[in-house]
Amino acid sequence: MGLSNLIKLALRALQRNKLRAFLTMLGIIIGVAAVITMMAIGQGSKESIRSSLSGMGSNMINIMPQSNLPGGVRMGRSQFQSLTMADVAAIKKKATKIDGISPVITANGQAINGANNWPTQVIGVSADYLHIRQFALKDGVNFSEKDMKTSAKVCLLGQTVITNLFPNGQNPIGQYIRFNHTPFQIIGTLIPKGQSNFGQDQDDIILAPYTTVMNRLASNKIYVNSIYVSAVSESASDSATNEVSDILRQNHHITNPDDDDFIVRTQAELITMISSTSSMLTVLLTSIAGISLLIGGIGIMNIMYVSVTERTKEIGLRMAIGARGKDILMQFLIEAVIISITGGLIGVGLGITASLLVSAIAHWPILISETSIIISFLVCGVTGVFFGYYPAQKASGLDPIEALRYE
């Protein structure tokens, strides 16, 4: 019997029990839709985080203090104190693989403009900070070397601070704000960057010369919170990291790397670490969603067993008029595959729709990849063959005489 005839017979058999066929497909539909949705959310989140981190500067290197105590009481990272301006000077003088460096010194408080105030922090940085972190000026100018040397009371504002201190849309350039009783003249504003993937408002920021923050606002006049460095290129990040680490060990008189009182992180390391975590969560969620496919496959096997039992006399009649066991096997196997593939097609459409709804309603980043659709579709085909084969094999092995006698 030809393949086209077998397909026609399978379709005719399924049309006789449309509701039962649809209910059998339901497990496949839900499984495929869940897998595609979970993969779209996972991949979207991973790409969004990767893009956000790359937007901070793909060749950026962050140096932070850390505890080198092997035991005992450990403090939070914000309380570690091991980096100084002497380290900044040493890196700037000796490192050959960097093209920018900025200490970071923070001071928390209240920014005030007339009757308007906003709780935020002033971050003391060098002029290189904008280049390293890929901030751009919207208006005004950046700090000068003279501003650094004289601890000038000047600052750059992010859009969130501007919105709250200048709610009437005034131009802030040239105006003064107070921060913890210290006046600052606004010399520039920053182009908005929006919220990061970690929920941080990147525009809630006031930048000032690090010398100003250290001398006028910070309670600690010796240590810096962290140091940002920009490698000469993304490919040179690893070399720059090793170079910076060697300089700091020399400066801190450390001979064993295990005793480092600092930690050096590149954007590539951070992207890899977060992508790995995101990938594991995606695999976990997809695996849980994939259980529905297994349940759907079991449903196909169950309904095919029922179908074989119900159509035993039909099978005997076909065999009696010349149908071979191979023909009966293919007929029932094609029925199982049609159920699975049709459910897969509906599931793909439902999964894409669900992913788009998640993006539109919850505003989560999604990425619907062709790979996830192709894999889901192939899994449906394999599921149909795997779970449909045994019932089909049972049907093909029936004795024609016994089948005709079956009531």
Taking the CA of residue 49 as centre, how many other CA atoms within 13 Å lie in the half-sphere pointing to its CB?
21
Give residue 74's pLDDT.
46
Per-domain residue ranges for the chain?
A: 3-52+275-405, 67-260
| Residue 224 token pair | 């810096």
DSSP state letter for 202: T
Residue pair 95/247 in contact (Cβ under 8 Å)? The answer is yes
Share of the chain above pLDDT 90, in %: 33
Measured CA to CA, the distance from residue 91 to residue 98 in angstroms comes to 9
HEC readout, 232-264: CCHHHHHHHHHHHHHHHHHHHCCCCHHHCCEEE
Looking at residue 75, its pLDDT comes to: 46
**DSSP annotation of 220:** -
Q: What is the DSSP track for 169-189?
A: ----TT-EEEETTEEEEEEEE
Output the pLDDT for position 73.
45
Question: 317, 2 in Cβ contact below 8 A?
Answer: no
Q: What is the mean pLDDT of residues 361-389?
A: 81
Between 219 and 159, the more confident residue is 159
Q: pTM of this prediction? A: 0.61
Q: Which of 251, 228, 229, 249 is nearest to 240 (CA)?
A: 229
Residue whose structure tokens are 């920018």: 100
The number of helices, as runs of H, and strands, as runs of E, in the chain is 13, 10
Q: Residue 383's pLDDT is what?
A: 81
pLDDT digits (tens, 9 = 90+) for 193-205: 877 655 678 899 9
- Residue 247 above 90 pLDDT? yes
What would the pLDDT profile of 112-124 be if each residue is shown by its tens digit?
Answer: 998 999 999 999 9
